């Protein structure tokens, strides 16, 4: 989910910080940030809140063209 990486970087959060907050390893966060790999569904609401976005935004696959 490249959107996780985008929101994480926009907020200046390091992968290791995200991993520590959710009690997972940094390689797990790397997998979450890859295309087509999703965190467990029960994690998504808290992840969205932590990153300051909605769960819908995390599942976004492409940006709309204005």
- Please list, in sequence order, all residues whose beta carbon lies within 8 angstroms of the beta carbon of residue 41, skipping any fewer than 6 positions away: none
Per the CB < 8 A criterion, the answer to whether 15 and 8 are in contact is: yes
Q: What pLDDT shows up at residue 59?
A: 82
Per-residue pLDDT, averaged over 54-58, amounts to: 90
Q: Which CATH class is domain 2-58?
A: mainly alpha
- In this model, does residue 66 exceed pLDDT 60? no
**Predicted pLDDT of residue 62:** 60
In this prediction, residue 38 carries a pLDDT of 85
State how far the Cα of 18 lies from the Cα of 66, in Å rounded to an integer: 32
DSSP helix, strand, coil percent of the chain (3-state; round to 5): 55, 0, 45
Domain segments of the chain as ranges: 2-58
pLDDT tens, position by position, 18-40: 999 999 999 999 999 987 788 99
pTM above 0.85, yes or no: no
Q: How far apart are CA 26 and CA 4, in angstroms?
A: 13
């Amino acid at each position: 989910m490249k959107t996780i990486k985008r929101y994480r970087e926009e907020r200046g959060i390091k992968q290791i910080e995200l991993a520590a907050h959710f009690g997972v390893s940094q390689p797990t966060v790397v997998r979450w940030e890859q295309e087509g790999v999703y965190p467990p569904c029960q994690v998504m609401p808290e992840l969205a809140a932590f990153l300051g976005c909605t769960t819908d935004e995390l599942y976004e696959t492409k940006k709309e063209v204005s």
